[in-house]
Each structure stands twice: as C-alpha cells, then as structure tokens.
Structure 1
Amino acid sequence: MLELLFLLLPVAAAYGWFMGRNSVTHKELKGRASITRNLSSGLNFLLTDQEDKAIEQLLELLDIEAATIETYLALANLFRRKGDWDKAIRIHEKLHQLKLPKPQAQQIQFELAKDYFSAGLYDRAEKLLVNLVKSPVLGEAALKQLFSIFIATHEWHKVKQYSAVVNSTESSSLRIAQANMQIEALKQQPEQSTEPLLELASRYPAAVRPKYELAKRALAEQHTALAKSALLYIVEHRPQWSADILPLLQQCALTDEEWYQLLSQLANKQHNISAVVLLASWLAQHGSATAAEQFLLDKLKQQPSIRLFQKLLQIRQQQSAPAAEALSSVEELVNAYLDKKSLYSCRNCGFKTRKHYWLCPSCQQWETVEPISGIDGR
C-alpha cells in the first residue's frame, strides 16, 4: 500500500502543474482579451471624433500594458501638432508616472516639456529640461528648448549659467545663440563698456553679433583701430554681411589703398554687389567716370544686378546734362522697384524682410537673417 502511495505522488504533482498552468494561461488570455476590448473601444472613440473618451480608454491600458509606449508617444505628438496640448499633456503625464528604463523615461520627460512649452507653461517646462541638459542623448535638444523658453520670457540672464555645457557641445548654433542672448542681457544693464563685448567676441568667434556690437561701441568711443579689426574679421569670415559692414568700415579711417584692396577682393572674389557699387564710386572719384562706367558694364555682363544697373544710371547722369534728363525717369522707376524689395532673407527658413533681425521672427534662429544676394541683392 505504501509503495502505491509513492507511485501516485508524481502523478498528483504532474496533475497539479498541468491545472496550475491552465489557470495561468486562462488568466493571461482573459487579460489580453480585456486589453483588446479597451484598445478597440479607444480606437472606436477616436474614429467617431470622441477624443476625450478615447484618451480615457487608452490611458487605462497603461496600467496593464506598458510595452506599447511608442504608440502612446506617437498619439501624444499627433495631438501636440494639432494644437491639442492638454490632450498631449495628459498622455505624457501618465507615461511619466510609469517606472521605465532611464532612456525611455528621459524621452517622455522631454516630450512633456515640449507640451508645456507649447501650452505656455514655461516654468513647468524649464524644471523638466534643467534635469536633461547633461544627458548624452537629449542634452543638446534640451538646451535648445531651454533657450526657446528664455527667448519667450526675455530672461536673457539665465543663459550664462549654461555656458560650460554649451561649450562642451559641438553645436555652433547653440554657441551663436549663447553669444546673442548674453548680448541681450548686457543691453539691459545701465553701464555699457567694451570689455564684456571683447570677451564674448573672443569666446564665440563664429558669432557675428559680438564683433558687430563691439565695432559700433568702439566707433562711438572713437577707438577706430579696435572697430576696424572687428569689422575686417567679419568681412573675411562672413563676406555675405559686407552690405552692412562696409558702411561701418568707411568710418574706420582706412587708407585709399586699404579701401581699394578690400573692395577689389570682395568685388572680384566674392562677387559682392555692395563692394562693386562702392568700388565704382571709388574709381569715379580717383580715376574717371568712364573707367567706373566700363567697370560696371563688365560686372553687369558677368552678374546681372538691378543695383549695379542703378549705379550705372547715376554715373551716366553725372557725365552730361542731356543724359541726366533722359535717364532720370528710368532711375525713378528703378528706385521705386528697389524700394519694395526685401533686403534680408533667412537662410534657414526663407523669411524675407526689409529690416534686419538678429533673431529670425519666423524660425527663431539666431544670425540666420542675412543680406539678400541675387539680381535684387546687395
């Protein structure tokens, strides 16, 4: 009898394991069926434009199934693009409460910060982004989003605390933004001096504005050598800015030879319209109107330009009174045409304007609004 009992024990154990597995499988199937019902119900609400009910239904699934995070992120981003920031915030806040791996949790945190920014909740967005600026993956994007907050709130002084982090990145756009925003902070101070501008110009050589502002301050204080050095650096490294830089250089007491060499290089190597116009004026003054006219005709054949044509009309009118009378009406038409044309264009988004902006009003990028080139350009 005892031997029979020992023989039946393995059978009983196997039966218990089999029944237990069937019970677990049954619970799993029941749970999956519940998820499927909730998901189907949520999608049905979405299809029938009942978005609030759809969100409630789909958010319930997060407590059961957290493996579909990417689906929820896509849905929240869709709501944000549509301008439904409150719905995006609700989804991202629910995701933010889950215990997830660090990279996934940080991505959700960043998305939630963008929701808050879009909704105008800048303080909440800033708190989330501050914790992400040192992230090896999201640090650069978090800094850019933080800078967008400081631009929106005009809290320019806050950017200085991120100087070290910005300099550790390889982003030139972040460095240019850092330089420009520190200059905005300097403008709010009652005392103005060249020292902070000198420091910024040295620390951020890729940025145009520090040297531009330094040159203007130096000219105001009659430090022409300092202004000349800063402006020549801009012309050498960013010749597309020559239209705005050359008028300032004319105040820097360059010799005739220096001025001629500079204009010749910009006109012949960079094909800068403003330099060609100024060089034609120099030739008319130091040589002859005929030489200036021939120079403009040669340039017009190589590079059609309304502004070069305008300058040619002016020189021909100066040569004789009959020419002035015949060409005055043509010059008026050309002037009227140019008065309506944009002077600057954003190389990033294409925004056009007659007024210069250091920060593009359209794409919110620093130093992308530059003098226009082409047939109407300068």
Structure 2
Amino acid sequence: MPELLFLLLPVAAAYGWFMGRNSLKHKELKGRANVTRNLSSGLNFLLTDQEDKAIEQLLELLDIEAATIDTYLALANLFRRKGDWDKAIRIHEKLHHLKLPKLQAQQIQFELAKDYYSAGLYDRAEHLLQQIVSSEPLREAVLKQLFSIFMATHELNKAVALASEVEKTNSKSLRIALANMHTQTLQHELLQQQLTEAVVLQHQDALAALATQYPQAVRPRFELAKFTLQQHDVVTAKEALLGIIKQKPQWSADLLPLLIQCHMEADEWYQLLSGLADKQHNVSAILLLTEWLAEHRSAQVAEQYLLNTVRQHPNIRLFQKLLQLRQQESPQAADVLSSVEELVNAYLASKVLYSCRSCGFKTRQPYWLCPSCQQWETVEPISGVDGR
C-alpha cells in the first residue's frame, strides 16, 4: 500500500500543475476580456460623442495594459488639435505617472508640456521642458517649444541662456532664432542705458560678436549697420551691409538705401548695382543703376537701358520709372503720362511688399518674426511683376 501511494505522487503533482496552469490561463483570458470590454465601451462612448465618459473608461485600462500607450498618445494629440486641452492633459498626466522606459517617459513629458503651452499654462510647460532639454533625441524640438514660450512671455533672456544647448544641435533655424532674440535683448538693454561712449562701444562689439557667431542670421549685421551709421562709422556699416547682400541679395530693396548713406565710390557702386541687376534681376538695383546712368552717362542711355530691361523682365515699378523719364523728355505728353503714372501709383499702393517664404503670409510691413508661422527671418521683399 505505501508503494502505491508513492507511485501516485507524480500523478498528483502533474494534476496540480495542470490545474494551476489552467487557472492562470483562465485569469489571463478573463483579464483580456475585461480589457476588450472596457476598450469597446470607451470607443462606443467616443462614437456617441460622450467624450468625458470615454476618457474615464479608457484611462482605467492604463493600469492594466500599458503596452497600448501609442494609442493613448494619438488620442490625446487628437484632443489637443481639436482644442480640448483639458482632455489631452488628463490623458498625458495619467501616462506621465506610469513607470516607463526613459525615452518614452520623456516623450510623454514633452507632449504634456505642449498641452500646457496650448492651454496657456506657460510656467508648467517651461518647468517640464527644462527637465528634458538635454535629451539628445528631443533637444531640438524641446528648444523650439521653449523659444515659443519665451517669446509669448517676453523673456528672451531665458532663450539667450540656452545658447550652449542650441550649439549642440545642427538646426539652422534655432541659431537664427537665438541670434534674433539675443539681438532684440541687446536693443532693449541699450534703450535702458544712457548713451555714453563706453555704452556705444560695448553695444557695437556685442552686435559684431553676434554677427560673427551666427553668420546664418541677417538681423545682427543689419542692426550693426544701422547703429554704426548713426555713429557715422560708414566703414563698419558698409562691410556689414555688403555681407548681407552677398548672402541674401533678395533683401537688397531694404539694404541699398542704407548703402547709399555709406558714400561708396562711383565705380564700386556701379559694379554692385550691375551685379545685382544682371545676375539677380533685382528691381531696386535696376532703378538705382538707371539713375546712375542718367547722372554719369546720359538720360538717353538710362532710358534705353531701362526700356530693354522692362522688355526682358516686365515689372510695374520699372514701368513707372520709364514713365517718369518720358515725362522729362517729352513735355507735350507730360499730362497724359502723368495720368498714367497716377494709375500705376494707385495700383502699387494696394500691393504687398513682403512675403513669408515659409507660409506665404503677405504684408506691406517688414517683420523679423512672421506673425503667421512664427518663423524668424522668413519675411522677405517680394519679387516678380510687383516686386522691388
């Protein structure tokens, strides 16, 4: 009899293992059934526009099934795009408290910060972003979001403090943004100080350093040129302006009037205008070159040059200049030509002067920061038939 009991022990153990395994499978299947039931219930609430109940139902699943985080991120982003920031915040806050891998947790923290920013909670958003600004995969996106916050709160000095983080990226747009905000900070500081010789030199050196550090940006050199012109330092102003024209010839409409104040030599001025006119077809350069030809050659040479240029590259402003030249040469037709010129003036008065190359925003006023897409140095003088 004891021998029989001994033989039955393996059978009993096997039976216990089998029943235990079936019990675990049963619990697992039951858990999955609950997840499926809650998920289906949540989706039904969504489909029937009962979003609050849907969120409560779906958030219950997070404690059970953390592997579906991408689904919740997509749902929260959908709410944020719709403007339902409170719902997006609730989902991201719930996800934020889960124990997740570092990179995934940082991504959720970044999304939560964007929710706070959209809801106008800038301090909360900044606090979260500052914690992850050194994260390599997210650094560029986090810096751009932080810069948006600093522009909204007018705390550009905080952006300047992040210069070392910007240098760790390859982003040209971030460097241009930082250069603009740093320049704007310097301009504001200058207004708060008495304009002594030491302050003037300090400000000029700071602008020059920014221009050297961020050659991709236009604004530091532009402000340097304007400031040095006010101080009658035409050499520094001329160097800065010529550097911008070489990099951004499309900005010539705004730069050439400043260069006129630098009193360039006649031949040097002619070479500059000829290059911009022939290679870039810049309207402002063509108009100034026409005036130079009229002064140094003859009115007939200037008019012929302008007529040939208008035929090759039609432009309303060049046509307007041609009308003015014809009025001077033909007093008999002056009245008729004057009437035509008035119509041209009325037409040009209604046209935009600048356009954003990023979003297409159009305006008659120059902006360093596009009011539409919030990109720095993308609003430029327009070209074409109505261009300058």
TM-score range normalised by the length of the shorter chain: over 0.9
User: What's the secondary structure of 1:361's corresponding residue?
Assistant: coil
Letter in 2 for 1:13: A
Letter in 2 for 1:33: A
**TM-score of the superposed pair, with normalisation by structure 1:** 0.99
Q: For 1:280-327, what per-residue CA distance to the aligned partner results, in whole angstroms no more than 9, with x for missing partners?
A: 111111111111111111111221111111111111111121132220
| Match of residue 215 from structure 1 | 225
User: What's the secondary structure of 1:363's corresponding residue?
Assistant: coil
Q: Does 1:352 align with 2:344?
A: no
Q: Mark the runs of 5 or more structure 1 residues left unpaired by the alignment.
A: none
| Match of residue 205 from structure 1 | 215
| Match of residue 321 from structure 1 | 331
| Match of residue 267 from structure 2 | 257
| Match of residue 197 from structure 2 | none
- How much does 1:214 deviate? 0.2
* Count of matched residue pairs: 378
Q: Does 1:38 align with 2:38?
A: yes
User: What's the secondary structure of 2:355's corresponding residue?
Assistant: strand
Letter in 1 for 2:10: P
Q: Does 1:231 align with 2:229?
A: no
Letter in 2 for 1:104: Q
Q: Does 1:139 align with 2:139?
A: yes
User: What does residue range 241-320 of structure 1 map to in structure 2 within 5 Å?
Assistant: 241-320=251-330
User: What's the secondary structure of 2:239's corresponding residue?
Assistant: helix
| Match of residue 385 from structure 2 | 375
**TM-score of the superposed pair, with normalisation by structure 2:** 0.96
| Match of residue 250 from structure 2 | 240
| Match of residue 187 from structure 1 | 187
Instruction: Tell me which stretches of 4 or more aligned residues in structure 1 moved more than 4 Å.
Output: none
Q: For 1:27-47, what per-residue CA distance to the aligned partner results, in whole angstroms no more than 9, with x for missing partners?
A: 111111111111111111111
| Match of residue 107 from structure 1 | 107
Q: Mark the runs of 5 or more structure 2 residues left unpaired by the alignment.
A: 194-199
| Match of residue 64 from structure 1 | 64
Q: Does 1:364 align with 2:347?
A: no
Q: Does 1:9 align with 2:19?
A: no
Letter in 2 for 1:36: T
- How much does 1:187 deviate? 2.1
Letter in 2 for 1:246: L
User: What's the secondary structure of 1:73's corresponding residue?
Assistant: helix
Q: What is the alpha-carbon distance in structure 1 between the residues aligned to residue 249 and residue 133 of structure 2?
A: 34
User: What's the secondary structure of 1:188's corresponding residue?
Assistant: helix
- How much does 1:169 deviate? 1.0
- How much does 1:54 deviate? 0.6
- How much does 1:6 deviate? 2.1
Pairwise CA RMSD: 0.9
| Match of residue 196 from structure 2 | none
Q: What is the alpha-carbon distance in structure 1 between the residues aligned to residue 314 and residue 348 of structure 2?
A: 15
User: What's the secondary structure of 2:380's corresponding residue?
Assistant: strand
Letter in 1 for 2:57: Q
